[in-house]
Amino acid sequence: MSDSSIEGKALRRHRKLPARFGPIVMPFLLSLLMTCLVSLISTARSVGVTPELLRLWPGSWALSWLVAFPVTLIVLPIVRRLTAAVVDLPR
């Protein structure tokens, strides 16, 4: 076996968090991505696409994420129940 194939296998076997962390990781990533995009659009709409945008946007993103992550954790179970009431999910 060559060194490059050993390195490739090592990269594919990266450590993952246990499944029990899924209910926290999914809302964490979802809230990061959503607040990133929404705060960027909102800030750009307010100040325009200017150098000022790059200065204001990170603070806007951080504040919106601080609100969105806990809200997502609280609301996600409700959204799952509402989805199950509206969508015929496989069993």
Return the half-sphere exposure (C-beta side, CA atoms, 13 A cut-off) of residue 7.
3
Q: What per-residue confidence (pLDDT) applies to 89?
A: 79
Helices (H) and strands (E) in the chain, counts: 3, 0
Q: What per-residue confidence (pLDDT) applies to 10?
A: 59
Q: What distance in Å separates the CA atoms of residue 80 and residue 86, rounded to the nearest whole number?
A: 10
**pTM for the whole structure:** 0.73
Q: What distance in Å separates the CA atoms of residue 27 and residue 70, rounded to the nearest whole number?
A: 9
Q: What per-residue confidence (pLDDT) applies to 7?
A: 61
Domain ranges of the chain: 22-84
What is the mean pLDDT for each group of 10 consecutive residues in the chain (91 residues)?
A: 60 83 93 96 96 95 96 94 91 76
